[in-house]
Amino acid sequence: MAKNDKKNEWKEFFWNPRTREFCGRTASSWGLILLFYLAFYIFLAALFVLTMYVMLQTLDDHRPTYQDRLSTPGMMIRPKGEQLEIVYSLEYTETWERYVQALNNFMSPYNDSVQAQKNYECKPDQYFIQEDSGILKNFPKRSCQFKRSILENCSGITDRYYGYNEGKPCIIIKLNRVIGLLPARDRQPPYVTCGAKKYKVGNDEWADDSDKLGALAYFPPNGTFNLMYYPYYGKKAQVNYSQPLVAIKFLNITMNEDVNVECRINANNIPEGSERDKYAGRISFKLRINSLN
Ligand SMILES: *[C@@H]1O[C@H](CO)[C@@H](O)[C@H](O)[C@H]1NC(C)=O
Ligand SMILES: *[C@@H]1O[C@H](CO)[C@@H](O)[C@H](O)[C@H]1NC(C)=O
Ligand SMILES: *[C@@H]1O[C@H](CO)[C@@H](O)[C@H](O)[C@H]1NC(C)=O
Ligand SMILES: *[C@@H]1O[C@H](CO)[C@@H](O)[C@H](O)[C@H]1NC(C)=O
Ligand SMILES: *[C@@H]1O[C@H](CO)[C@@H](O)[C@H](O)[C@H]1NC(C)=O
């Protein structure tokens, strides 16, 4: 008998036919609870959607919202050896072949035919401005051709070893992309100059390898980055952008010696490398060509 009572108690907890309560609550009480939670969750979902929407509105698809305040672009060299060292032996082909291979790979997207197909023949010596007008996006933006033949003796076309086989190697320099940058030197295009790097040899004593550097040739002439390659509008807006290049050919470098070289960009609207970023706008590397003669 007691067993049956217990069972009935349980049953009544779930469904009490007298009071018409389910789990201790009437249908309308349950209904109110469900309604409350339904409204609550709808409210949360709406809040989430609204926040997302507002956030997405503040993002411009064609311009990164956050860009480190890089006003001074870094420079890079190709081929890039270990620790910015280019060291090889003239008579041992395998020691410089990898540099030639690296340059071939790097230059491949600059093939004249590739550039002619991808990019636009811009008017040289002036910025190629393609602003958006209001909300109307000027998109996609065109990019200017940079054909490797511009680099003449360092293009790898006439001299397929870039001078490495004769001890007159070419080094290619490019500036890191900085969105919106309009580099110039007294309204003239910015240009690259290379020289012997000063280095410390003792307390307040400095030396450089200028006597070993020899003559340099710059391609294109004067080592300029033409203005038409600026400004850069970003990867998404300018899908086919090709960074302009400058090549330096070492025509008479002293063999069997370390030669410390420093190249810098000359553009007076690019601030000198600050304490925070000493190497902005310049790059140094070591060049050593060994030869049996
Ligand atoms: C560029 O040209 C070189 C020969 O001049 C060729 O070997 C290479 O495959 C070309 N690259 C592209 C991407 O067309
Ligand atoms: C980018 O290059 C492709 C060919 O590779 C071309 O079809 C396309 O029109 C180019 N886009 C722009 C914006 O120049
Ligand atoms: C390029 O190389 C050729 C052949 O070696 C030479 O006659 C010419 O003067 C070089 N051009 C430049 C600008 O150095
Ligand atoms: C190179 O620079 C010199 C002197 O600044 C200038 O006279 C010459 O026109 C420049 N050449 C080119 C091709 O820009
Ligand atoms: C190359 O440099 C050496 C000194 O390192 C010099 O004696 C020689 O005249 C230079 N050659 C040319 C063609 O400038």
CATH number, domain of 170, equals: 2.60.40.1660
Q: Could you tell me which residue, 43 or 80, shows the higher pLDDT?
A: 43
Closest residue by CA, ligand 3 atom 14: 217
In the predicted model, what is the mean pLDDT of residues 236-240?
A: 90
68 part of a folded domain: no
pLDDT at 258 over 60: yes
Q: Could you tell me which residue, 99 or 15, shows the higher pLDDT?
A: 99
218 with 100, same domain: the answer is yes
pLDDT at 57 over 90: no
70 part of a folded domain: no
167 CA to centre of ligand 5 in angstroms: 13
106 with 232, same domain: the answer is yes
pLDDT number for residue 187: 82
Q: Could you tell me which residue, 16 or 121, shows the higher pLDDT?
A: 121
212 CA to centre of ligand 5 in angstroms: 9
Q: Which ligand is nearest to the CA of 241?
A: 2
Where does the pLDDT of residue 24 fall: very low under 50, low under 70, confident under 90, or very high at 90 and above? confident
249 part of a folded domain: yes
16 with 106, same domain: the answer is no
Average pLDDT, the chain: 87
In the predicted model, what is the mean pLDDT of residues 67-91?
A: 80
Distances in whole angstroms, Cα of residue 79 to Cα of each of 9, 171, 206, 267? 86, 7, 28, 24
158 with 264, same domain: the answer is yes
51 with 152, same domain: the answer is no
Which residues surround ligand 1 with Cβ inside 6 Å?
Answer: 108, 111, 114
pLDDT number for residue 169: 97
Closest residue by CA, ligand 3 atom 4: 153
90 part of a folded domain: yes
Q: Could you tell me which residue, 146 or 133, shows the higher pLDDT?
A: 146
35 with 116, same domain: the answer is no
Which residues surround ligand 3 with Cβ inside 6 Å?
Answer: 152-153, 217
pLDDT at 214 over 70: yes
pLDDT at 64 over 60: no
214 CA to centre of ligand 5 in angstroms: 7
222 CA to centre of ligand 4 in angstroms: 6
Q: Could you tell me which residue, 44 or 68, shows the higher pLDDT?
A: 44
190 part of a folded domain: yes
Where does the pLDDT of residue 3 fall: very low under 50, low under 70, confident under 90, or very high at 90 and above? low
The b/e string for 244-262 (b: 16+ C-beta within 10 A; e otherwise) is bbbbbbbeebbeeeebbbb
229 with 131, same domain: the answer is yes
- Range of the structural domain that residue 26 is part of: 2-58
64 part of a folded domain: no
154 with 235, same domain: the answer is yes
Last residue of a domain, one of 27, 58, 89: 58
Distances in whole angstroms, Cα of residue 30 to Cα of each of 17, 20, 22, 42, 252? 16, 12, 9, 18, 92
In the chain, what's the furthest Cα-to-Cα distance? 116
Number of Cβ within a 10 Å radius of residue 277: 14
223 with 271, same domain: the answer is yes
Domains held by the chain: number: 2
Q: In what order do the strands lie in the sheet with 21-22?
A: 15-16, 21-22, 25-26
43 with 128, same domain: the answer is no
Name the pTM for this structure: 0.78
